[in-house]
Amino acid sequence: MIPKASAVLGVPIDDVSLNEAVSDILEMMAAFHQDQRLRHVATVNVDFITNVLSWRFKKTRHPELMHILRQADMVTADGMPLVWASKWLGAPLKERVAGSDLSPLLVAACEQEGKSIYFLGGKRFEMTAYRAARILQQQHPGLKIAGIDSPWVHVAGEPLAQSDEADQQIVEKINASGADLLFIAFGSPKQEIWFDRNRHRLKVPVTIGVGATFEFMAGTIARAPEWMQRTGLEWMFRLAQEPRRLWKRYLVDFVKFGLLVWPSVFFYRYEALKRRFKKKTLSTLHESQTLRQPSGNFHKHVFLPQKLLASEMQTLLKDIQLSRTPPSMIVFDFSGVRDLTAGGIGTLIRIWQRLKTDRIPLAAAGFNPRVRRLLMVNRLMDYFFPEDANIFPSKTGSVNVSHPTSFDYALQPISGDIVHFRLAGVFDTFQAAKIDYDALLQNIGDRDCILDLSMLSYIGSSGLMLLLNVSKSILSHGKCFVICHSQKNVRQLLQMAGLNRLFVILRDVTAAKKFIHEVRRGTTGDAFIETAAQDI
């Protein structure tokens, strides 16, 4: 059963208490031995939210981090402002579950259950990981320390090209240790990105990003008194300790979070007040239909209720899971929805992600203007309307959206000396691992390459590493590597990874071909690139 979750500014946060989180993580460890699926736990604070979101409703500042958080197996509220926001949105979280509180409880639980922990990251020169492990070993004599490592890792810029080999060495150490739980303390978003790009080769049941927790464990940074933690004033204590480093971050975080959260809170309160004034009760029942196709496959058409509640979404998942034969597609129909609660939409995202993990094609129907406004103020337009989605207007004026689930790539010669390389779909870690890098370079051969990203909606750190190495190999042979037709989301991913200035990014294939021919004639200059890329 998927736990209830509250969607706060587009991020689903699980409604769990501190003790429930510990119990659920232990269950995740046990489940790994049955299905061999890694679990990821993220503890999200206000800084996460402000780093992920842009000021625009329909744009995400850090698409990769948002993608990772939405597909995490557990996301907890590491900050009282998130708990308060969930209450304002009508779906209150039980309590704050901070990484610095969760980690010591997990350590005690692992000692009791005989589970081992691997410590990765922390401040290298201060040896916080080693000091934290030593102190914990003294406090918990029966604790199994699987290993400790504080390596250098890169998640942005040109060093990404050499990161795969370094990552492999780190992963081999972790896997050889036989750890049951991995603490990663690289800081956000580095720890989340590093895990995501290595999740296909890690063999640790559960991984959790713990940020500065090693420093608290080692005693190099003191925790605020409990009354300050309960009342949401821990930031003042931290600020007094490190004013030069934290004052700007806290100022930006509080101002930006406050300005971003109020539109969704106001909209929710306005809709609740309007219903109360009209004394209108919304139905919380849903129904589903099974539509059989001539081929024998069938689509499951699920009509969502007028009021989307977390409990109803959990019942919905149970109904889907009871099907003996997996449907060829599941269609969620929003045409009857009048109220999107934070709890209902957060739990629906959890269900959506579970179905995507099971590789079931998904579609959504009945997006009327009202529902689209609700999604926009809740920062979910990018989730339900990705750039690679197939959008079909219906006769009633609503919109239907089909979400592609497959990834594809193709190489096709344009001319004798230029090859067209096209990527389509979601280029995540698992898809990047399936591409034979040497075979790809061999197929490109001694030719110029135009990379067409018109059908690519997402590319993770692993995919960026592959593209960076492909481009370096091609350029080292005196050939051109040009990117064209990149979507806004992909361009933002390149920018956040610090790679946008390392590639030539042009408007379309025609501009790319012209650029390559100009290079061959030796007449290309900065003015041409600026002109060709003016609409990017």
**77 membership: H or E segment, kind and range:** strand 74-77
Residue-wise pLDDT tens digits, 340-381: 788 888 888 888 888 877 777 788 888 878 788 888 888 888
**pLDDT at position 190, please?**
93
Q: What angle, rounded to 10 degrees, do the helices at 163-177 and 461-476 form?
A: 140
361: three-class secondary structure by DSSP: coil
**pLDDT at position 140, please?**
94
- The whole-angstrom separation of Cα 375 and Cα 267 is 11
Name the amino acid, one letter, at 217: M
Q: Is 62 exposed, middle or buried (0-12, 13-18, 19+ CB in 10 A)?
A: buried
The pair of structure tokens assigned to 112 is 């009791």
Residue-wise pLDDT tens digits, 419-451: 999 998 888 888 888 899 999 999 999 999 999
Q: How far is CA 450 from the centre of its chain?
A: 28
**pLDDT at position 402, please?**
62
Name the amino acid, one letter, at 212: A
Omega of the bond leading into 263 within 30 degrees of 0 (cis): no
- Dihedral sign, Cα of residue 275, residue 277, residue 278, residue 281: positive
Distances 359 to 43, 148, 227, 330, 405 between C-alpha atoms, Å: 26, 36, 46, 11, 7
**pLDDT at position 395, please?**
54
Rg (CA), the chain: 24
**pLDDT at position 526, please?**
52
∠ CA 374-379-381 to the nearest 5 degrees?
Answer: 75
Q: What angle, rounded to 10 degrees, do the helices at 190-198 and 461-476 form?
A: 80
Using the 8-state DSSP alphabet, how is residue 507 labeled?
Answer: S
Q: Is 353 exposed, middle or buried (0-12, 13-18, 19+ CB in 10 A)?
A: middle
Q: What is the largest CA-CA distance in the chain?
A: 74
Using the 8-state DSSP alphabet, how is residue 100 labeled?
Answer: H
Residue-wise pLDDT tens digits, 274-303: 777 766 555 554 555 544 444 445 577 788
**pLDDT at position 309, please?**
78
pTM: 0.88
Question: Three-state SS across 15-74?
Answer: CCCHHHHHHHHHHHHHHHHHHCCCEEEEEECHHHHHHHECCCCCCECCHHHHHHHHHCCE
- The whole-angstrom separation of Cα 357 and Cα 353 is 6
Q: For the chain, which residues score pLDDT lower than 70?
A: 1, 278-298, 318-327, 387-405, 523-536
